[in-house]
Structure 1
Amino acid sequence: MLRDAIQTATIAAMKARDSARLGALRLINAALKNKDIELRTGTAPADDDVLVTDVLMKMAKQRRESIEMFDMGGRAELAAVERAELSVIESFMPTQMDDAEALAAIKAIVAEIGATSVKDMGRVMATVKERFAGKLDMSKASGLVKAALG
């Protein structure tokens, strides 16, 4: 589904001669192809959209880090290129849960599992990742789980 949308957008960018968007879409396609090659020895993913979303989240994180570094280094033109790529990447990502939604979902999981201390964090994080992969940044989720358990 997401893969098809990315392909369709790539073709539309070619027809529109939108070189900036086309470049970002080609980067996405290359990252997906690399992930496919990497997983070739393993089992096929049950849900391709989860795989694509995972790749997109990693690419978005890389772009955010690059933007921060370029801004600190005074390279506004390079930061602008990264921001443009980030906006294209984020256009294909599912909407992310806000902090209030995420905290409520995590508290529900903690209650459901019966977690009582930080020792149960692994079980809670596994359930959070299983249910909310792609909708919640796991690094942010980690902090919220610690807060819910602490």
Structure 2
Amino acid sequence: MRLTFTKRDGKYDDLLIERPDAAPETIRNPKQGIIPHDMIHYAVESVLAHRGFLGMVAGGDAAVFATQGGESEEAIERLVESFQAEMWGGRVPADELLETYRIACEARGHAAAPVTAEDVDGVRATLDDLTAKWAAVPVNGSLTVEF
């Protein structure tokens, strides 16, 4: 699956999703001062090989805001949110990020996916790389990754 993120000058950036067996779909990502939310999904899901939103889309689900998964997909959404919060607020020790993640899952009534400190390091490295690449993308320019 090919993901093309396009930086726009308004309140939203775009994500074009191209799958070999489906029509292309575009999702609008609200600007948030860091990389797009779905780019964080890419970092988490590609490094950890857990099924979240992008895994569901790759499996044939429609790429819409209301796409909902089961407990494991919801756990990945909490992990994405934990990394997103860290990107806004600054890095914390891996054990603190994982504890925040566990608490978020517990508050939503589901178990956390197994994630190690080494996994956190891998996701952070991918996020750092994507952040640098995204910063270099001009308005109306794109960044493409394969999932």
Q: TM-score, normalised by structure 1?
A: 0.28
Higher RCO, Cα 8 Å, sep 6+: 2
Greater helix content: 1
Greater strand content: 2
Larger radius of gyration: 1
